Amino acid sequence: MTEEKLRALIAESQRDGFKVLFKQYQNYVYTIVWGRIRKIGSAEDAEEAVSDTFAEVFLNFSTINSGSLQAYIGTVAKRKAIDKYRKLSSEKTVLADDGELLNLPDDTDIAADSETLERNRLIYEKIRSLGEPDASLIIQKYYYDRKSKDIARDLNMTPGAVRVRLNRALKKLRELLKDISLK
């Protein structure tokens, strides 16, 4: 759903509109959050940060400029993930490239983490380039570890159709990734 249509739906019914907004952006937000906290956090920690993100978005929705909803949501998700990371990590502090203070666990290998983040970013971009519903299928199956029947219910498909579509999407993804050297 486009941002304009989403804003119109929220203007008609905040409850229904925010449900659609959440459903549309939950995978996006979870991916951002999980990318930041996966080494030290649990799925529950990520879900809490996702909830905090949407709470802030819903509270400030009327102040978000038209055309910048996804960017705003991404920024809030990043901030909430950093807050959660800081809360979960030990007190070792490092200054990041952008001048932001990060708390890192004592056993953090910054170079390896940077390579991992870059690799994951490339993979995520390739997954997103597959389009919908293929990107959602892969994200829900391999990022969220959801079963085919649960994905099928959410996407109004049969479990068999989900498995077939997922198999085809993975073949396409393999082709997209074969030129990228992944360690």
pLDDT tens profile 87-109: 887 534 444 545 455 555 555 56
Q: Write out the DSSP string of 55-121.
A: HHHHHTGGGSPTT-HHHHHHHHHHHHHHHHHHHHS-SEEEE-TTS-EEEE-TT--HHHHHHHHHHHH
The 10s digit of each residue's pLDDT in 8-41 is 999 999 899 899 999 999 999 999 999 888 888 8
Q: Model-level pTM?
A: 0.50
Domains of the chain: 1-108 (1.10.1740.10), 109-183 (1.10.10.10)
